[in-house]
Chain A
Amino acid sequence: AQSVTQLGSHVSVSEGALVLLRCNYSSSVPPYLFWYVQYPNQGLQLLLKYTTGATLVKGINGFEAEFKKSETSFHLTKPSAHMSDAAEYFCAVSVFSGGYNKLIFGAGTRLAVHP
């Protein structure tokens, strides 16, 4: 069964430092992978997605992620953290079930950015 594991429920970085949020997936078929961000009291916003093709995917707000099949990983990075990046981040894999697709989410990683 497909699943998603996010390593680290809380990550804290300094403003200007590298952001690295880890995501590993389990899938018996080539996966479609997503990163979403959730700000307080809001819904989820798509940051980026990997379907096929280029393994380095660029998203909004300076984030990018690299699909590594050999490591079954899809880690999210940003070279320089900004205070506005503080939020909860969810990795998700699209699962083919009953002829249609649905998203399976990881448990989330809460990112704190301090001055």
Chain B
Amino acid sequence: QVQLIQSGAEVKKPGASVKVSCKASGYTFVDYFMHWVRQAPGQGLEWMGRIKINGGGTNSAQKFQGRVTMTRDTSISTAYMELSRLTSDDTAVYYCVRDGGYYDLDYWGQGTLVTVSS
């Protein structure tokens, strides 16, 4: 079965960077895009961007351009999302999500809580 296992919770200071990992199993990693979606406490869902695992090309929402870096290591079936210049507004649960094949999303990771606090 498809599983996406994310790294643990992080606490960062404003101005720092955070890197979240997402290890995939149960499918052919290189055959699907991986997306990143975040959810601030008590709020809705926000699509951040995606990476084409086979090749590494990325697309991201304009508000994150210049701050988000999405990468992958196909040898260990793991995708990464790094967000820099953190502010308190970046406090959220970050999800990796597999592309669903119909311009949507299917399998979700368990989420990684990133807390930005001085």
Instruction: Please indicate whether A and B come from the same complex rather than being unrelated chains.
Output: no
- The residues of A with any CB-CB pair to B shorter than 8 Å are none
